C-alpha cells in the first residue's frame, strides 16, 4: 500500500487494517506482538502493513510462493494469465490494495 494512502488513515483505521491483514496473511491477529506504545505509533503500524505487502510480493515472484498464497485462499494469477506482461512486471500488492480501496 502506498505511503500516501496510509497517510490518509487514522491510527484506529491503521490498527484495524493491520489486525485484519495480519490475520489474513499469518492466520492470527497480532495481539501481543506490539507494545501498547507501538500499537499507537503510526510509523510502526505503517511499517508493519508494508512488511506484509512486501512479503506477499516476494512470494508472488515464485511459482511455489504463488501456490502457497493460493492454498491460503488468496486469488493469485500466473504471469502467463496476465494480458499485459509489462503491467505484471510492475505489479505489487500495493496496487491491488489501492484498486480495491484497502
Question: Hey, what long-range contacts does 23-28 have (CB within 8 A, 24 or more apart)?
Answer: 25/52, 25/55, 25/56, 25/72
Name 21's Cβ contacts closer than 8 Å, sequence gap at least 6.
49, 52
Kindly give the confidence (pLDDT) of every residue in the chain, 102 residues in length, as a single tens digit, with 9 standing for 90 and above. 445 689 999 999 999 999 999 999 999 999 999 999 999 999 999 999 999 999 999 999 888 999 999 999 998 877 766 555 565 556 566 666 665 555
* The pLDDT of residue 14: 97
* The pLDDT of residue 5: 81
Count CB atoms within 10 A of the CB of residue 70. Answer: 13
> What's the pTM value of the predicted model, to 2 decimals?
0.72
Name 30's Cβ contacts closer than 8 Å, sequence gap at least 6.
18, 19, 22, 48
Amino acid at each position: 500500500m502506498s505511503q500516501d494512502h496510509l497517510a490518509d488513515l487514522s491510527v484506529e483505521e491503521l490498527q484495524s487494517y493491520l489486525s485484519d491483514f495480519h490475520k489474513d496473511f499469518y492466520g492470527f491477529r497480532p495481539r501481543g506482538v506490539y507494545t501498547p506504545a507501538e500499537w499507537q505509533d503510526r510509523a510502526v503500524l505503517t511499517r508493519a502493513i508494508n512488511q506484509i505487502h512486501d512479503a506477499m510480493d516476494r512470494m508472488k515472484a515464485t511459482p511455489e510462493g504463488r501456490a502457497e498464497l493460493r492454498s491460503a485462499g488468496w486469488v493469485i494469477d500466473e504471469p502467463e494469465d496476465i494480458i499485459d506482461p509489462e503491467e505484471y512486471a510492475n505489479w505489487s500488492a500495493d496496487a491491488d490494495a489501492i484498486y480495491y480501496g484497502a
